């Protein structure tokens, strides 16, 4: 995604992610913006997950400041093998996320190298004030009519349909990974567990744990079933 007037150093995705490129020959080869030196962040993170923290910050653009979120994967310990594993996961997430462009997908704006040895790289995306689905429902449940709920479902379905058209399985579609912009539009986010399916009728080229959702939060209670380790299919995403 290009931004006229900006002068970021351009990194070619294929070179930056050479370890993964052989598995994605059909994906478009485009530039990824290096925003190092243009991002300032708050002193404390705004949210945290199992392996990453989210920080609120500002992108100092030529046209003015832009609110952004910075996702930084936590690297614990000094083990070289541990760092290699986390770097590989980071490259995979960037590879998948950078290729996506859709109204219901939170875009990746670029990356920044300025967060210390234990936090070497941050992934930069737009900041959304409305937060995720869980918080959105808590704040607006009393005023959400059936049409609003249907619109949210349609937004999520449109984002998923786009992912699956590219043979991408999200792999972690939970309420915390569905975000909302100021207009109430749902955006799918967090592609750290996403996989690219080599055979659209077969399993993805990576296998990892999947969280199964039994009841959609729009309809009431949320229930976790179990974790299992097996190949992923497009059908794993809908809930």
Angstrom distance (rounded) from CA 152 to CA 139: 15
- Angstrom CA distances, 108 to 95, 125, 164, 224, 226, stand at 10, 5, 18, 29, 30
Angstrom distance (rounded) from CA 47 to CA 3: 28
Query: Out of 6, 34, 81, 172, which one is annotated catalytic?
Result: 172
Cβ atoms of residues 237 and 212 within 8 Å: no
Q: What is the distance in angstroms between the CA of the first residue and the CA of the last residue of the chain? A: 30
Phi–psi pair at 159, nearest 5 degrees:
-65, -45
Q: Nearest 10 degrees: CA dihedral of 64, 69, 71, 72?
A: 60
**Which of 236, 215, 109, 103 is CA-nearest to residue 169?**
236
**Cα three-residue angle 133-102-50, rounded to 5 degrees:** 45
3 state SS of 96: helix
**Which of 92, 90, 111, 163 is CA-nearest to residue 1?**
111
How many C-beta atoms lie closer than 10 Å to residue 203's C-beta? 15
Active site residue 172: yes
3 state SS of 164: helix
Residues carrying an active site annotation: 172
């Amino acid at each position: 995604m290009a931004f006229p007037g900006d002068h970021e150093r351009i990194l070619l995705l294929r070179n930056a992610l050479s370890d993964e490129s052989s598995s994605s020959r059909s994906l478009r080869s485009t530039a990824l913006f290096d925003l190092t030196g243009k991002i300032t962040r708050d002193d404390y993170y705004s949210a945290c997950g199992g392996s990453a923290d989210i920080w609120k910050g500002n992108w100092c653009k030529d046209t003015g400041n832009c609110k952004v979120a910075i996702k930084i994967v936590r690297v614990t310990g000094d083990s070289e093998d541990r760092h290699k594993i986390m770097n590989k996961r980071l490259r995979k997430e960037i590879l998948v996320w950078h290729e996506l462009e859709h109204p219901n997908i939170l875009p990746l704006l670029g990356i920044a190298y300025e967060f210390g040895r234990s936090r070497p790289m941050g992934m930069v995306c737009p900041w959304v004030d409305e937060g995720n689905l869980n918080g959105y429902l808590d704040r607006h449940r009393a005023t959400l009519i059936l049409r609003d709920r249907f619109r949210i479902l349609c937004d999520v379905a449109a984002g998923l349909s786009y992912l699956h058209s590219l043979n991408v399985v999200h792999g972690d579609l939970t309420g915390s990974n569905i975000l909302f912009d100021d207009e109430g539009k749902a955006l799918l986010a967090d592609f750290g567990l996403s996989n690219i399916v080599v055979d659209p009728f077969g399993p993805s080229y990576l296998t990892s744990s999947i969280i199964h959702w039994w009841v959609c939060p729009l309809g009431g209670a949320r229930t976790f079933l179990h974790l299992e380790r097996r190949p992923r299919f497009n059908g794993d995403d809908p809930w």
